[in-house]
Amino acid sequence: MAVYTRLGAEELARIIEAFDVGTLVSAKGIAEGVSNSNWLIETQRAGGSTQRFILTMYETRVDVADLPFFLNLLDHLAARECPVPRTIHDREGASYRLYDGKALALIEFLPGVSVSEPTPAQAHAVGQALAQVHHAARDFSGDRANGMGHAAWSELLTACGPDALAAIDPGLGELVGRELPLVSANWPAHLPHSVIHADLFPDNVLMLDDRVTGLIDFYFACVDITAYDVAVTHAAWCFSPDGSQFLPELSAALLSGYSAVCPLSAEEREALPLLARAASLRFLATRAYDWINTPTDALVTPKDPMAFARRLAFYGQPCNAKLFQET
Amino acid sequence: MAVYTRLGAEELARIIEAFDVGTLVSAKGIAEGVSNSNWLIETQRAGGSTQRFILTMYETRVDVADLPFFLNLLDHLAARECPVPRTIHDREGASYRLYDGKALALIEFLPGVSVSEPTPAQAHAVGQALAQVHHAARDFSGDRANGMGHAAWSELLTACGPDALAAIDPGLGELVGRELPLVSANWPAHLPHSVIHADLFPDNVLMLDDRVTGLIDFYFACVDITAYDVAVTHAAWCFSPDGSQFLPELSAALLSGYSAVCPLSAEEREALPLLARAASLRFLATRAYDWINTPTDALVTPKDPMAFARRLAFYGQPCNAKLFQET
């Protein structure tokens, strides 16, 4: 969460001129997104009406070659009434521009706030919105492999090494050593695939009361097993932040919201415990890697990898497999 | 520039409920201010009308005991039509509240952007706005000593030590050793005092075209020599950022804008070269201290102290004293 690039008002005004949105009247660097710089921009048209946008400058963690996939996806989903921000194309029709060697895009501002103590009604709405995206993306022609799939977690966790994992928690190396090959060997590659968000944490959902006003930050979106996205979202929404407490009402609400729009097949439900272990491993891997590789005096505090080790252990208990079954 | 405190949407909504401004519909942490956390907040009233505010949470660098001075000053100046944001008092009439041990205030959102390549017309407007503040603050009863006065710079520069200063630049120790006692010995304490902003850099001025829409960040405001504030603003606006190039058109415009509202006396004009050296020392001191004491792998890049050593050297040249004289 940072603004990495500093842009003066004159530069911002020149950037905005490339779009047919009026003139710049306000610009605030906002602390949002982990892989880019963002400004909340306000413009005014000759008639006096104002509009707000998010201007995103992509830093090194986003590959410019992936931008057409991410931005076309937003336009595709917005046209199908999914609650996602539209992209504003420039006067030449381009969805992103290059500025000083970096790509930038102008994206619709959406109202709403990110909840941190979701209610069952909110989890239900998020489940519905996720299913709406999966449904609306069926006729989206873009393709992108999951850069944070099994191979990536294995690599990150191997790079951590058993000693560093043991330093985080004495049992962590063993847990990872057991789960990693198990998830790999049982990966249900035959299940239906679609475009998935792959990172739908509460931070990436804007809400007003119980209504989803925006799903944002699609920069991990890719084509992968549809039910894996349900598993990621389940891991993200249905636990206390430290992973120590499973929240059954949120789980039931999320799954019922999702399946009201996109019914889950028996095969998908069967695979969900394993996919949830995979989702836990994925966030455990990036968090453990960041935990080990963040200098102790850095301004950013790395997130606790154990929060996902606890989820992984929870999903691995056979008695918890039933929570994904139809009720 | 950072958001130091993380507040969830539910916490923000509860905070906003203490004010009569409607319900929270958007909140973005913004990268503004060096001594506090800030959110750009939008609220909606029952009738549907929306309003925007800046919610500021004061971190350790601001003393809560000083808040009545800062916030009452904003209200005093806004009531006298200075372009400063009003504070929004809570339902009990308080200008700030305590939350989780920290003070927070809700402040009016103002449009405008901070320029980084000011034009003479903009410098003229800033000079006028500064004079308007000095004039409007004459009947403000609050009092606050300048915490970043001569004693503070001396202390910071002494704490740096001659070796560390020499490591920044071979001539820096000598320059500081010469200027520090000279400014002290010649301090024109008899000149008129008033409330001063004391930090009116372009970052702290919001503009639309050539108009000042907001002077912000009054957290160094204090009672000190009025003309010292002119000197600070001069040093902040009338040079290239690295201090290597004096910009005479901006200087003339700033001084003429200021004196159109508050004429500078002959004594004040006489003292301005010394006050400008003092202003240069003040920012040189904090920048040198931060330069020496910021870990090399920190995420924030400290600002170059030499940018103000160059201003100091410029103002110290006798031939440059004339620029403050009436033209």
Residue B5: DSSP 8-state: S
Tell whether B129 and B86 lie within a shared domain.
no
Domain assignment present for residue B242? The answer is: yes
For A60-100, the pLDDT digits (tens) are 778 899 999 999 999 999 999 999 999 999 999 999 999 98
The answer to whether residue B237 scores a pLDDT higher than 70 is yes
Q: A115 to chain B, minimum CA–CA distance in Å?
A: 5
- pLDDT grade, residue A1 (50/70/90)? very low
Name the residue range of residue B271's domain: 120-324
Instruction: Provide residues of B within 8 Å CB-CB of chain A.
Output: 1-3, 8-13, 24-32, 40, 42, 111-117, 206-208, 295, 297-300
Q: Decide if A115 and B3 are in contact by the 8 Å CB cutoff.
A: no
Instruction: Assign residue A163 the CATH number of its domain.
Output: 3.90.1200.10
Structural domains of chain B, count: 2
- pLDDT for the residue numbered A298: 61
Residues of chain A with C-beta less than 8 angstroms from the C-beta of B54: none
Tell whether B100 and B134 lie within a shared domain.
no
For B36-68, the pLDDT digits (tens) are 889 999 999 999 999 999 999 998 778 899 999
- pLDDT for the residue numbered A6: 79
Beta strands in chain B (DSSP E): 23-30, 36-44, 50-58, 87-88, 97-99, 102-108, 193-196, 205-208, 211-215, 222-225
Tell whether A80 and A201 lie within a shared domain.
no
- pLDDT grade, residue A31 (50/70/90)? confident
Q: Of A16, A121, A104, which Cα lies nearest the Cα of A59?
A: A104
Tell whether B99 and B194 lie within a shared domain.
no
Domain assignment present for residue A279? The answer is: yes
- pLDDT for the residue numbered A18: 97
Domain assignment present for residue B2? The answer is: no
Residues of chain A with C-beta less than 8 angstroms from the C-beta of B114: 8-9
For B168-196, the pLDDT digits (tens) are 999 999 999 999 999 999 999 999 999 99
**Region B91-109 average pLDDT:** 95
The answer to whether residue A145 scores a pLDDT higher than 90 is yes
Report yes or no: B107 and B54 within 8 Å, Cβ to Cβ.
yes
- pLDDT for the residue numbered B1: 40
The full DSSP string for A31-77 is: ---SSEEEEEEEEE-TTS-EEEEEEEEE-TTS-GGGHHHHHHHHHHH
Domain assignment present for residue B191? The answer is: yes
Percent of chain A with pLDDT over 90: 87
Where is the domain boundary, B86, B108, B130? B108
Q: Decide if A113 and B26 are in contact by the 8 Å CB cutoff.
A: yes
**Region A212-227 average pLDDT:** 97
Q: What is the CA radius of gyration of chain A?
A: 20
Residues of chain B with C-beta less than 8 angstroms from the C-beta of A42: 111
Q: Decide if A31 and B2 are in contact by the 8 Å CB cutoff.
A: yes
Among A30, A50, A296, the residue to mutate for chain B (most B Cβ within 10 A): A30
Higher pLDDT, residue B311 or B162: B311
- When the pLDDT of each residue in chain A is averaged and rounded to a whole number, the result is 94
Tell whether B317 and B268 lie within a shared domain.
yes
Tell whether A167 and A209 lie within a shared domain.
yes
**Region A279-308 average pLDDT:** 87
Where is the domain boundary, B87, B108, B129? B108
Which of B201-210, B248-257, B292-301 has the lowest average pLDDT?
A: B292-301
Tell whether A131 and A246 lie within a shared domain.
yes
Buried-state track B199-216, b at ≥16 Cβ within 10 A, e below 16:
bbebbbbbbbeeebbbbb
The stretches of chain A forming alpha helices (DSSP H) are 9-17, 67-79, 120-136, 150-160, 162-168, 172-185, 226-237, 248-261, 266-293, 306-316
Domain assignment present for residue B115? The answer is: no
Q: Of B292, B50, B281, B52, which Cα lies nearest the Cα of B183?
A: B281
Tell me which amino acid residue A308 is.
Answer: F
Interface confidence (ipTM) of the complex: 0.86
Tell whether B102 and B229 lie within a shared domain.
no
Q: Decide if B112 and A24 are in contact by the 8 Å CB cutoff.
A: no
- pLDDT for the residue numbered B160: 92
Tell whether B183 and B293 lie within a shared domain.
yes
For A89-133, the pLDDT digits (tens) are 999 999 999 998 899 999 999 999 999 999 999 999 999 999 999
CA distance A109 to A52: 6
Q: A113 to chain B, minimum CA–CA distance in Å?
A: 5
Where is the domain boundary, B82, B108, B134? B108
Instruction: Assign residue A55 the CATH number of its domain.
Output: 3.30.200.20
Residues of chain B with C-beta less than 8 angstroms from the C-beta of A32: 28-29
